[in-house]
């Protein structure tokens, strides 16, 4: 992924975060004024969406150390993601407990009617945010598109639960059926469960992703084939591709003709990096280690002359 593309992707994520925070404030205020447990819970769900997006908005690793990625920065952000996940778990539990208390102590009135209007507006804004993200994700990997769709479903479920709870309670008011008032806090209980689910998923992803998830060999095979076709590469000693959030960071070790200049070795590494990032759009960065080819490893062959090795111009 080029630097410009990374900036654009980050900008789109920030737009989504701002949209969810705005919805959280709007629904939270309306929920308080209308005394709707479902709408307050939906506001907290929008806030949880914003927090989870902040958690995955992480930078790529900057360098390698002793043949491995330097994950200092990623580890720090992973700890922040874990803290956010724990916060969401607490938030979801508190939402659920508050709704249960409302059911236990009884509900004597329905929410104000304008709460339903706010929920409809929220659904429309969420759909607009999803369509905006979906159009951008058409150029990204299928993995990211799937994640976005799954997140959108969770948003939709929360809003549908709030809509059913508030509209059901209002229907009970107009019909004189006070039992339907309980639909509002019950919807809040459902949304509290969705917030807990979001926090749990983020917690698992943060723990799993702390050191990066290495791709399976079959997933890296096409990358290997691409690198082997680059002029000047004699052997590929190692290739590791790790997932970090929605993106992949590649570490590769190659051997080149020991007689070429440092500049030529640097050029080969540069070609490899930009070839992989151009062909595999989900690759956010590539680190290439260049070593002189040693024909004596692992099996020594004294008869092989250095002049027989291919050069950058082979």
pLDDT tens, residue by residue, 101-117: 999 998 888 999 999 99
CA dihedral 176, 177, 183, 185 (to 10 degrees): 70
Closest CA to 206 of 69, 94, 67, 57: 57
Looking at the predicted structure, is the pLDDT value of residue 23 above 70?
yes
**Which pLDDT belongs to residue 313?**
42
Q: Is 124 helix (H, G, I), strand (E, B) or coil?
A: helix
Provide the H-helix boundaries in 209-261: 217-228
The pLDDT value recorded for residue 245 is: 55
Q: How sure is the predictor about 174, in pLDDT bands with cuts at 50, 70 and 90? A: very high
Give the C-alpha separation, 120 to 138, whole Å.
27
Task: Classify residue 272 by its DSSP letter.
Answer: H
How far is it, in rounded angstroms, from Cα 54 to Cα 208? 18
**CB-based burial label for 302 (10 Å; 0-12, 13-18, 19+):** exposed
The DSSP code for 308 is G
Mean of pLDDT values over 23-41: 92
Nearest to 131 by CA among 222, 251, 19, 232: 19
3-class SS of residue 66 = coil
pLDDT of 266 > 80? The answer is yes
Nearest to 237 by CA among 299, 311, 300, 291: 291
How many CA atoms lie within 13 Å of 117's alpha carbon, on the beta-carbon side? 5
Q: Please say whether the beta carbons of 215 and 69 come within 8 A.
A: no
Distance CA 186, CA 169 (A): 10
Distance in angstroms (rounded) separating the CA atoms of residues 113 and 66? 63
Which residues on adjacent β-strands are paired with residue 249? Answer: 242, 285
What SS3 state is found at 229? coil
List, for residues 4-18, the tens digit of each pLDDT value: 555 666 677 778 788
Q: Which pLDDT value is given to residue 10? A: 67
Q: Is 160 helix (H, G, I), strand (E, B) or coil?
A: helix
Q: State the Cα–Cα distance between residues 254 and 262, nearest whole angstrom.
A: 14
Q: How confident is the model at residue 281 (pLDDT cuts 50, 70, 90)?
A: confident
Distance of alpha carbon 90 from the chain centroid: 21
* Number of neighbouring beta carbons within 10 Å of residue 285: 21
Q: Is 150 exposed, middle or buried (0-12, 13-18, 19+ CB in 10 A)?
A: exposed
């Amino acid at each position: 992924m080029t630097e410009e593309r990374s900036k654009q992707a980050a900008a789109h994520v920030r737009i989504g975060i701002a949209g969810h925070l705005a919805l959280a404030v709007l629904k939270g205020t309306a929920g308080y004024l209308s005394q709707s447990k479902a709408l307050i819970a939906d506001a907290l769900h929008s806030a949880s969406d914003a927090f989870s997006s902040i958690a995955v908005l992480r930078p790529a690793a900057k360098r390698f150390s002793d043949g491995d990625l330097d994950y200092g920065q990623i580890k720090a952000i992973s700890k922040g993601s874990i803290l956010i996940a724990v916060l969401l778990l607490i938030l979801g539990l508190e939402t659920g407990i508050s709704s249960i208390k409302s059911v236990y102590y009884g509900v004597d009135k329905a929410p104000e009617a304008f709460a339903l209007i706010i929920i409809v507006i929220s659904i429309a804004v969420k759909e607009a945010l999803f369509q905006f993200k979906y159009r951008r994700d058409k150029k990204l990997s299928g993995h990211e598109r799937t994640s976005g769709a799954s997140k959108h479903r969770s948003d939709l479920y929360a809003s549908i639960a709030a809509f059913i709870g508030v509209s059901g309670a209002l229907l009970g008011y107009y019909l004189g059926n006070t039992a339907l008032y309980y639909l509002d806090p019950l919807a809040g209980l459902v949304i509290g469960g969705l917030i807990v689910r979001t926090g749990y998923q983020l917690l698992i992803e943060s723990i799993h992703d702390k050191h990066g998830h290495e791709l399976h060999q079959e997933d890296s095979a096409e990358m290997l084939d691409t690198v082997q076709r680059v002029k000047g590469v004699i052997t590929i000693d190692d290739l590791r591709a790790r997932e970090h959030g929605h993106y992949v960071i590649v570490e590769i070790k190659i051997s080149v003709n020991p007689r070429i200049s440092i500049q030529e070795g640097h050029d080969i590494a540069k070609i490899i990096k930009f070839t992989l990032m151009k062909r595999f759009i989900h690759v956010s960065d590539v680190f290439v280690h260049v070593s002189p080819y040693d024909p004596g490893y692992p099996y020594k062959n004294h008869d092989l002359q250095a002049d027989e090795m291919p050069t950058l111009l082979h």
